[in-house]
Chain A
Amino acid sequence: MKCKTLLIKNQIEELNRVVDYLDELGEEWDLAVPLIFSLNLVLEEALTNIILYGLDNQSEHIIEIEFKKSDDQLFISLIDDGIAYDPTQKADPDLTLSVEDRPIGGLGIFLIKKIMNQVVYSRKENKNYLMLTKNINV
């Protein structure tokens, strides 16, 4: 099992580092370009939520992003010390609504759930663990 970890601060600009890191990881682990696009999106959605809503922006926090790869699965764990929040409990948006009735926003977590094959949340020792799994090479 391959394993790598990236640590970022709770600032939106840090997402640019995540983009660069994923490009490098893609080359190193030979990941397909559409997969990197998907991982980019999933990580931005999850990290934006953590940075903007989970952590107070007055003080510096470190968010840990751990990547693991087996032959047919990619695992990403996000660990932060923000307020307890389980995104898997959020209701899915109603996609059948008309433009007028469709609320602005609320798509981020839905996209994560749709793109990844498994999304598991747990809270341990005052930290949020979001574990994401994607089947690859299928």
Chain B
Amino acid sequence: MNVTVTKSENYTLVSVEGRVDSTNAGEFEKSMLDVVAEGGNKIILDCSELNYISSTGLRIFLIVQKKMMANNGHFCLCGLQAGIKEIFDISGFSSIFKMFPDKESAI
């Protein structure tokens, strides 16, 4: 797994690549919470290179969403691959995250 953080004036773009699973979710959680702690108003998580996620990873998405909403911030996702979108649908996550086809439309 690789996480890349790019800060812009109005938003922070986080790109996650590879797999988020039980073996590395702690690392992903720390990266995301660091971004949240910096206090930006809008975080876009680019999932176009995310190949796999399990419930351990999903819980981190939910933690970030809760924190951002509590601060009146915005957290959105873009570029979800079909297999991952299906997991979001099953989990009822598709209705609690704003999702865009690509980062251009998320910005």
Interface residues of A (CB under 8 A from B): 12-13, 15-16, 19, 34, 37-38, 40-41, 44-45, 48, 93, 95-96, 98-100, 102, 104-105, 107-108, 110-111, 114-115
Contacts and interface: CB of A to CB of B under 8 A. Distances in A.
The B interface is mostly helix, strand or loop, or mixed, namely helix
Interface of B: 19, 21-23, 52, 54-56, 58-59, 62-63, 65-66, 69, 83, 87, 90-92, 96
Q: Is the interface of A mostly helix, strand, loop or mixed?
A: helix
Contacts of A45: 54-55
A85 B23 CA distance: 23
Contact of B91 (A44, A48, A111): A111
Contacts of B19: 19
16 contacts: A16-B23, A19-B19, A37-B52, A37-B83, A40-B52, A41-B52, A41-B54, A44-B21, A44-B56, A45-B54, A45-B55, A48-B56, A95-B91, A107-B58, A111-B91, A115-B90
A99 B96 contact: yes
A15 B23 contact: yes
B2 to A, nearest CB: 16
List of 8 A-B pairs having minimum Cβ-Cβ separation, nearest first: A95-B92, A107-B55, A108-B55, A48-B22, A44-B54, A37-B83, A114-B90, A99-B96
Given A15-B22, A44-B21, A111-B87, A99 B54 contact: no
Nearest to A108: B55
A96 B92 CA distance: 7
A100 B54 contact: no
Contact of B22 (A12, A95, A96): A12
